[in-house]
Amino acid sequence: MQIDDSQLQAKRNEVAAQIGTAQSGVTNAQAQYNREQISPRSKDIGAMPGFGMPAMFDRLGTRQFASTFMGGYDDNTIRQADLENSRATVLQAQSGLQQASAQLQELDAAIGNATSTAPFEGMILSKQVEVGDTVQPGQPLLTYGYIKNKRLQSDVPSGLVAGLQVGMTVAARINSNFDTTAKVAEIYPLADPTRHTVTVKFDLPADVEATPGTYAEVHLPEGDSAASLFIPKTALFKGSSLPSVLVVKDGKSQLWLVRLGTDQGKDKVKVISGLDATEQIINDPPVGVVSGWMPPAK
């Protein structure tokens, strides 16, 4: 993607012209400095200082008379001052050239940033702007997806992360009907302080047919825990794509999502997270009920 850089290009042409002028100034200043070293202006026979007398008489008579008897003229001092003046002119010209070159580098960087190239092969999934739209720094322009090698991303409960290692293989299910395997590719070093989960990424086999955004499940090793929690399968909310239960709070029910572990037989299932052993749940809720529903009193 590219934004309009016509103003930047015009500014760059202007700075490039300034660099040409600055380079000419440096060349001229250096030439004047070299001239002052070889042929000092203070000893130029063609100059007419002093008492306005002819140049030869002024050099042989007036200057020597002033230097010897009056102490008001010193060739070496005047030459040193002329050299310092020429040197200062050279330094000023070089400084101007450096400033113009720095401006050109800044503009080249801005022009380079005007074009964005995807760092990997993929496909445009969605566009947030059209040609002619005004954009601001940090504004998303499009969503780009790497679809050659597919990857799952899951927020794993912190208690299960200890049993995972980069490179290990776990079972996975795509779209609730296609079983495959997934390899642990990355485990984030930080946990979510609110949900107590850690983001883990899993690489899928190259031949798996799946599209970005597809629902997937991963089956992780649980490990042994004395505080394991089991609930009846009939307590799971019916008609929901994600496992959930109705929890009683303040005399009303609330729909809570839970993470399930291994199946414990015909009538029980293990709950990994989302439910506490002190919570009261409603068993066998009818189809179609919502949060707030309570079973009729017996």
Q: Would you say residue 45 has pLDDT above 60? A: no
Question: Are 234 and 203 in a shared domain?
Answer: no
124 found inside a domain: no
The number of distinct structural domains making up the chain is 3
Domain that holds residue 202: 152-219
Question: Are 10 and 33 in a shared domain?
Answer: yes
The Cα 8–Cα 114 span in angstroms is 9
Q: Torsions phi, psi of 60, nearest 5?
A: -85, -25
Q: What CATH number does the domain containing 289 carry?
A: 2.40.420
pLDDT tens per residue across span 141-187? 888 887 778 889 998 888 788 888 899 999 998 887 788 999 999 99
- Which structure tokens are listed for 41? 């202006």
Give CA torsion, residues 277, 283, 289, 293, to 10 deg.
Answer: -70
Question: Are 22 and 100 in a shared domain?
Answer: yes
pLDDT tens per residue across span 29-39? 888 888 888 87
Question: Are 212 and 233 in a shared domain?
Answer: no
Confidence of residue 202 (pLDDT cuts 50, 70, 90): very high
Q: Are the beta carbons of 207 and 253 closer than 8 angstroms?
A: no
40 found inside a domain: yes
Higher per-residue confidence, 138 vs 60: 138
Question: Is 245 exposed, middle or buried (CB count within 10 Å of its CB: 0-12, 13-18, 19+)?
Answer: buried
Question: Are 212 and 236 in a shared domain?
Answer: no
Question: Are 186 and 285 in a shared domain?
Answer: no
Confidence of residue 207 (pLDDT cuts 50, 70, 90): confident
142 found inside a domain: no
Question: Are 58 and 86 in a shared domain?
Answer: yes
130 found inside a domain: no
Using DSSP's 3-state secondary structure scheme, residue 255 falls into: strand
pLDDT tens per residue across span 214-226? 888 888 876 555 4
269 found inside a domain: yes
Question: Are 93 and 13 in a shared domain?
Answer: yes
Q: Would you say residue 229 has pLDDT above 60? A: yes
Choose the final residue of a domain: 166, 195, 219.
Answer: 219
277 found inside a domain: yes
Tokens 């000092």 belong to which residue? 40
Q: Would you say residue 72 has pLDDT above 70? A: no
205 found inside a domain: yes
pLDDT the model gives residue 61: 52
pLDDT the model gives residue 203: 92
Question: Are 289 and 244 in a shared domain?
Answer: yes
Question: Are 43 and 101 in a shared domain?
Answer: yes
Q: What CATH number does the domain containing 200 carry?
A: 2.40.30.170
Q: Would you say residue 201 has pLDDT above 90? A: yes
Interhelix angle 6-38/75-113, rounded to 10 degrees, is 160
136 found inside a domain: no
Question: Are 23 and 103 in a shared domain?
Answer: yes
Mean pLDDT over 70-75 rounds to 56
Averaged confidence pLDDT in the chain: 81
Question: Are 86 and 158 in a shared domain?
Answer: no
Choose the final residue of a domain: 219, 254, 275.
Answer: 219
Choose the final residue of a domain: 54, 82, 113.
Answer: 113
